[in-house]
Structure 1
Amino acid sequence: MRFPSSKAQEDMYKEAKSSYFDLPALDISVAFPQATPASIFPPCASDYYQFDDLLTLEEKETRQKVRKCMEKEVAPIMAKYWEKAEFPFEVVPKLGALHIAGGTVKGYGCPGLSITASAVATAEVARVDASCSTFMLVHSSLAMLTIGICGSESQKQKYLPSLAKLNTIGCWGLTEPDNGSDASALRTTATKVNGGWVLEGQKRWIGNSTFADILIIFARNTITNQINGFIVKKDAPGLQATKIENKIGLRIVQNGDIVLKKVFVPDEDRLSGVNSFQDTNKVLAVSRVMVAWQPIGIVMGVYDMCHRYLKERKQFGAPLAAFQLNQQKLVQMLGNIQAMILVGWRLCKLYESGKMTPGHASMGKSWITLRARETVSLGRELLGGNGILTDFLVAKAFCDLEPIYTYEGTYDINTLVTGREITGISGFKPAVVRQQSRL
């Protein structure tokens, strides 16, 4: 038997393809008219225990203005950008106009929100798109907050007003290729020279880094061996930031690899309030609360989507919402959300009263993300085949939750933080490592 040559096969394929394969995909509203896609975002149906009653007027107003912006400006375009793994720069001015960047930071053009208002804003952004909430978290609750807590007066005046308007963008560089969970063992170095410092090293998984105007970089002081913080400009000679490709989650977020080769930072851009790794924990304590509210927002959006979908989609002559199994899953999702919200709210109140400990924050983040995983998985089941399409939100949320489950401390690391606090015994290093260090 003789087979056509490769050239003949190619010609045959081109001819066949030209007949119908080049047609564009049907619009989802035509291909599947029975349910409304997430580009028209569903109304909120997840506040079953009336959490709004616990909020102040300012916190309610913050929630509503963020919700309105996200549903109107971001929902229609998020799937397109997620698929392309590109960032929607067109929404940055709209997010800036919300005046939520900087969160709890007071003065310098920052909003000075309560931590509850900042948390609710984080959830409302995540409800529509988790990537946008991560962009804001990195910029606001990491980069801006570090300057707000650890920066000098001149640094606050110089950088915060523009960052608050999102006229300039920040990122936060702690994680390294060899040090993720063991972040305090970072290897990037800072060497004192005349008039400043020289940074050498590498960072990885740094959100916003490919387009950030300023980069908060943590490095080990070669004299004191302690961790110091620095503000690095994007055009600094020797600085390189390249995008990490092939992510399955938070695809809109531009995570990058940063390489620092003899990058000079003037003395005026050293963060005087960062003199040990413990100083970074002042920032992480707040940002971990914000991260805990990201999954809350994600599952709110997933529930809202499923709630509408089950009433619109019909099978066996009835809406999917009429079936007992589906109702049970929907109620289980709703119950999880109420518990997650109340844990997150209590975490905010502990912080406001000065009673929140690292263990509180870590348990909140780890437990909430665990429940979120369960909740989004149920939503994925409820949508059947459409549960794997970004058009209906749940598939995207399912993937976006995975990196959130991991960053700002994995589930396991955060449980160890709480475990150490409640037992007084550290479980971070295996016994064999502790024994070797004593020799």
Structure 2
Amino acid sequence: MPISETWLLPDGVADVLPEQAQVIETLRRNALDFLASRGYQLVYTPFIEYIESLSSLSESNQDLDLATFKVIDQLTGRLLGVRADMTPQVARIDAHVHPVEGVARYCYAGTVLHTKPRGFNTTRAPLQLGAELFGSDSIDADVEMIDVMLSLIENAGLVEGVHLDLGHVGLFRSLVKHAGLTKDIERHLSDLYQRKALPELAEFTQNLKFGADFYALGRYASDIQALKTNLSAEILADEAFKQAFDVLTTTQAEIQARWSNLHIGIDVVELRSYHYHTGLMYAVYAPNRAAPLAQGGRYDGIGEHFGRARPATGFSCDLYALSAGQFKQIEKVVAPKGTNQTLLAAITTARQQGLSVIQLLGNDDLSSVPNATHQMIEVAGEWKIEKI
């Protein structure tokens, strides 16, 4: 390969330069400190492990399996996977490595790797930060998780103009079960809902059992009262459907009580990762951003693969996406070379105050420090910091 090409990176992979890296690292530290204040314990998970562990969700979420890079371990000959999501790893910790009775709360931050970008102009190596709550199937657990997610985004300075989307896979899932549909029809309906293809949905559901209800689910997906008015009495009386409906409306009311100025939208046919989630789903969006700032939902039974099925709910976000467009000028204080004790004491004091101080080396002068913003100079026997 010519030297001129050795600096190139794979598509969807990029360096993070100092001005943005500073923003991201500050965001990461603040977020983890905030999660710790809410009782979420930090865990580190391995970047690579046996595919059997990482694929604990693959039976129900083929997208995750396809997103996972796979390599052969030269020590054992076994297949390894590079984590594409940290949730299965935290589920393994909760189920087998660190099993506790009652509710367990964990948080994490680390790079994951995807075989393909998950959206336009997105990275294949997101810096994923998230929180998981295991051991409670209560609505209160989902409300807590959504409240934590919104608070984290507020602490990041992005709460202005954001809106929350709520959905529940149980509405569609219980309707499919009540109608006794085949997997092929279920998949086709899911695709129509995801594409918001109402004309196609109207035609497809004409001769379908409970077709009017399936159409109403798509037609009134964002209007919970209109949906209730247009559903049949038989479906509204279905216990599973009624429970999902009640969870959705109760969660909306409780979040609105906590965040009175927040716009909350409903989309009962937002079926992303439909086979992965088992209940409530939520996502936070900001103006002029197509991708969510953070998203999550309920995925009960996630630890079954590791021998301990537990109710679970959680959310995650990409810190790169969360910090997009934010840059911070890095202030650099340049100090002269020397071993004068008052100079060294002044440098130590400035660093303790959080300043970045660079002492010149050898024959260096001020011009040898790129982007220097301040310099330390001696005035009447005292060392002072002045802007360049």
Same fold by TM-score greater than 0.5: no
Instruction: Name the one with the larger strand percent.
Output: 2
Query: TM-score w.r.t. structure 1 length?
Result: 0.24
- Could you say which structure has the larger radius of gyration? 2
Instruction: Name the one with the larger helix percent.
Output: 1
Query: TM-score w.r.t. structure 2 length?
Result: 0.26
Relative contact order higher in (CA < 8 Å, ≥ 6 apart)? 2
